[in-house]
Homo-oligomer: A and B are copies of this chain.
Amino acid sequence: MAETPPADLVTVLQALSDPVRLEMVRQLARCEEGHGIRCGEIEIDVTKSTASHHLKTLRNAGITGEREVGTRKLTWLRKKELEERYPGLLEAVLCAADAPAITA
């Protein structure tokens, strides 16, 4: 399993520009690196199959890594690889995602 680098920028931005996936990334960001959380553990308002689809998209963009543990699958953010390839990008997105919505 050669650790492929994150995909091209357009693919990465595309993957991040979905509300569900962005929320997934936010929740993943709150985990230890290399630890990961379970697929079904992510709290989002979509069905199992849809969640699986989104996780696959993130995986294909090289944003997340996965590891199987029995029947379960752990997913984590590939912070280091993203930082190497696109410095500052993930941090800016995560920070931006925490920014309050405009109320005015």
Interface size band for A: 20 to 34
Mark the stretch among A13-21, A39-47, A63-71 that contacts chain B.
Answer: A13-21
Which residues of A from 70 to 104 have beta carbons under 8 Å from B? 85-89, 91-93, 95-97, 99, 101-102
Tell me which of B10, B85, B93 contacts A19 (CB under 8 A).
B10
Which residues of A from 16 to 48 have beta carbons under 8 Å from B? 16-19, 22
Across the interface, name the chain B residue whose C-beta is closest to A104: B5
* A residues apposed to B, CB below 8 Å: 5, 8-10, 13-14, 16-19, 22, 85-89, 91-93, 95-97, 99, 101-102
Closest 4 CB pairs of A and B: A13-B17, A88-B92, A86-B96, A14-B17
